[in-house]
Structure 1
Amino acid sequence: MNAFIRKCAGLALAGAALFGSIAHGADKPPVLIGLDAEFGHKTSTSAQAIQRGMEIAIDEINRKGGVLGGRKLELVITDNRSIPAMGVDNLRELARRPDLVAVFGGKFTPVVMESVPVAHELGIPLMAPWSSADGITDHDRKPSYSFRLSLKDAWAATALLRFAREERNASRVGVILPNTAWGRSNQAALAREAGRAGITVVGERWYNWGDKSLIEVYQEVRKLGAQAVILVANEGEGGVLVREVAALPDAERLPLVSHWGVTGGALGALAGDALQKVDLTVVQTFSFIGARSPTAERVMAALETRYGIDRPEKIRSPVGVAHAYDLTHILARAIDKAGSADRRKIRDALERLGPYDGLVRRYNPPFTPDRHDALSGSDVFMARYMPDDTLIPVPWRTRKPR
């Protein structure tokens, strides 16, 4: 009987110790990551894509024990509605939270560009999984707090021009740009790269966000002798131009070689059947279609379980999912390397990580003190829309392999 009592007492003590351990782990505060993106933008799907990539990565990290010896990661979301002033206010509000270690931005470059100096003022890492303006990472602020795993406009310009020349036989192009920081970034990049690509830019035309028609600027560059049009647009204005070009006679429909802003929203719904009447190709950095790595299969399984997305073709704004997933894993590694939730130490650690095999590519390493872009120009390819709104890669005969 005494032996039985001793055994029960031992089990009770063990149970109490286990409960105490669990309770102690539960008492550890979470490490917070902010996401400020354009959730209130009516036609955008990019913010939701970034959120999903982050949530899948956070779930994987937390199931393996979290960071810093058992602290869970937790996502804090704010909505800037694509308005720069709101983005800056949201960044300041997020930075007031002491356990929040970094803020991810959304698609809209003007918001992120306005946030860059504020992030450096506050000393908080600003993570860019979509926005592409060169100035997000190419600046003189030292140490730099902006880190990007995404396209750069310089790389986009090279791809757009080379594709127009090599695949659409266009030696003369017109350029249509938004009157924003993103548009100005692309204008500079295209002007710089055109000569190297052996292409003449016959004319540049600008439009404002919200314009109800772009056909006038399109016809202006066409009449200047453009054989193709380089389009820098989001889904709203892109959908407008696609519909307008589709309504023209066949002889007036030039190929549209587009930056990827149009893929960050409901372009298929906005353009309708016109999308199949226009030769539109868009720049991309990742596709789940044909991706067969264990990581891709794991992310696809999570997309189905969490969001009911059972096929790669159904993923909207796929680069947002993929980039945010990899960037979240990279940030978690930096948190552990820093050994604390101190933002400065995490910033330093982001520059000193080892290789990481991610969803998009192998990073060797993701960042260095002199390079805060995790991707490169060799990751860029072109894609087009199918009738079911699926975005599929386009074969490119002379594209250099990664």
Structure 2
Amino acid sequence: MSHALDRRRRTFLHRATATVASLPWAAQAWATGAPVRIGMTAELKMASSTSDDAIRLGVELAIEDINAAGGVLGGRPLQLELRDDRSVPSRGLENFRELAAMPDLIAVLGSRFSPVLVEMGNQAAALQCPVFSPWAAANTVLDAKRQPDWAFRVSLNDTWAMSALLQAAQADGHQRMGLLAPNSGWGRSCLAATEARMGQLKGTQLQLLPVRWYNWGGETSMVEHVAALKQAGMQALLLVANEPEGVVLCKELLALPANVRPPIYSHWGIAGGDFPKLVGEGLRDIDLRVVQTTALNIQRTPRGQSVLARAAQRMGLTDPLRMPSLVGLGHGYDCVLILQRALERARSTRREVIRDALENLDPIDGVVRRYAPAFTRERHEALAESDVLLARWGADGRLGALKSRG
């Protein structure tokens, strides 16, 4: 399965590079001035990951659109500088330092893994370089105590995610909640967010059982954690996992009788890979919901439809809505739109001026939502809790939003 994903990624990257090189504006744009660079560090060589593909494609399509319209700062082309971090924080930080040293580089985007973005955010002020998170959700990616903060997010956060999962479980009639999370910064962020939300719901009968921790990247079995939670009286499972651990858990649950499988309310790490393909047809037999953002509904506007159609063509997909990690496409695209507007306001590639401009932008119509404004000095979250939704995979492999219960 991983070999098939690798082949698809290589095909995708080859097509992307060939397309950019053949665009009619390319030669003219390069003649008008030095490129303005946007950096990105992502888990490019993680075989099961598709979030990096979706984010990168969103970034590249936005760059193509901006360059086709004349570029930035009087005709200079935008250019993506890409680095592989393999989801390792130290490698991501090394990439960040290398990218920040480039002339006319205005910001660096991360990808899915929060520990990488946390380290980048902690060093952003020292490097005087804005950091954008188009996926990583840990609350610690942003820090209001850092003033000025150089980290920005176009994504959800753990507080919104865990709140949405708890509310959905409660609406479905569950009271005793189990939490299975990685022993990492992301897992601890989710536990803190869940406990805080439970504290706000003291008037209800919701109960959080003691958390079960697993080792990220090192677990070959997950079902014993579920068994322990079930023994403690769990009615529904809050899952914080990426696709490798999520696949292990789902396949183990499928080996059990259907009546002992708990309903699962999952954070979106499992959607960072092609989860239906990785799990197989049995996924339909698991009661699984996963948190997403309204970027999942990118096709609701003409501009979003166009971006999605082009992305699907680039990826070789016959069904655009079957694109894995679809939300990353919209988040990546809108990150670049926001940076373009900051460039226009700053009229310079000086990063301290761009950072200040990001907090003072006029409304921007993105493919995910309208940002009015995207950020303020006190708020570096471009999205809002109202942009969070739950979804389920259908038999066709599409991830579709569930209707809210109110």
Q: Provide the TM-score with structure 1 as the length reference.
A: 0.90
Question: What is the aligned partner in structure 2 of residue 383 from structure 1?
Answer: 391
Which of 280, 284, 289 is the equivalent residue of 2:288? 280
Paired letter, 1:177:
A
RMSD of aligned Cα (Å) = 1.6
Which consecutive unaligned segments of at least 5 residues does structure 2 have? 1-26
Q: CA deviation at 1:394?
A: 1.2
Question: What is the aligned partner in structure 2 of residue 205 from structure 1?
Answer: 212
Matches within 5 A, 1:77-156: 77-156=82-161
Paired letter, 2:305:
E
Q: Equivalent residue of 1:36, what SS? A: strand
On the 8 A contact 2:117/2:141 being kept in 1, the answer is: yes
Q: CA deviation at 1:27?
A: 4.5
Give % identity. Answer: 45
On the 8 A contact 1:203/1:224 being kept in 2, the answer is: no
On the 8 A contact 1:173/1:203 being kept in 2, the answer is: no
Q: CA deviation at 1:309?
A: 3.4
Distance of 2:196 and 2:115 partners within structure 1: 21
Does 2:338 match 1:334?
A: no
Return closer, same or farther for 1:137/1:290 CA change in 2, 3 Å cut-off: closer
Paired letter, 1:338:
A
On the 8 A contact 2:32/2:75 being kept in 1, the answer is: no
Q: Equivalent residue of 2:149, what SS? A: coil
Matches within 5 A, 1:161-176: 161-167=166-172, 169-176=173-180
Does 2:192 match 1:188?
A: yes
Paired letter, 1:142:
Q
Question: How many equivalent pairs are there?
Answer: 376
Paired letter, 1:39:
L
On the 8 A contact 1:256/1:280 being kept in 2, the answer is: yes
Q: Equivalent residue of 1:138, what SS? A: coil
On the 8 A contact 1:286/1:318 being kept in 2, the answer is: no
On the 8 A contact 1:78/1:90 being kept in 2, the answer is: yes
Q: Equivalent residue of 2:329, what SS? A: helix
Q: CA deviation at 1:117?
A: 1.2
Please give the per-residue CA displacement for 1:199-244, whole angstroms capped at 9, x wherever unaligned: 2102210001230001111111111111000000000000111111
Distance of 1:312 and 1:269 partners within structure 2: 16
Which of 1 and 2 has greater Rg?
A: 1
Distance of 2:90 and 2:297 partners within structure 1: 37
Distance of 1:233 and 1:23 partners within structure 2: 46
Distance of 2:118 and 2:318 partners within structure 1: 35
Paired letter, 2:95:
N
Paired letter, 1:354:
D
Q: Provide the TM-score with structure 2 as the length reference.
A: 0.90
Paired letter, 2:273:
G
Does 2:269 match 1:261?
A: yes
Distance of 1:253 and 1:90 partners within structure 2: 42
Matches within 5 A, 1:1-400: 26-167=31-172, 169-197=173-201, 198=204, 199-210=206-217, 211-289=219-297, 291-398=299-406
Q: Equivalent residue of 1:389, what SS? A: coil
Q: Equivalent residue of 2:403, what SS? A: coil
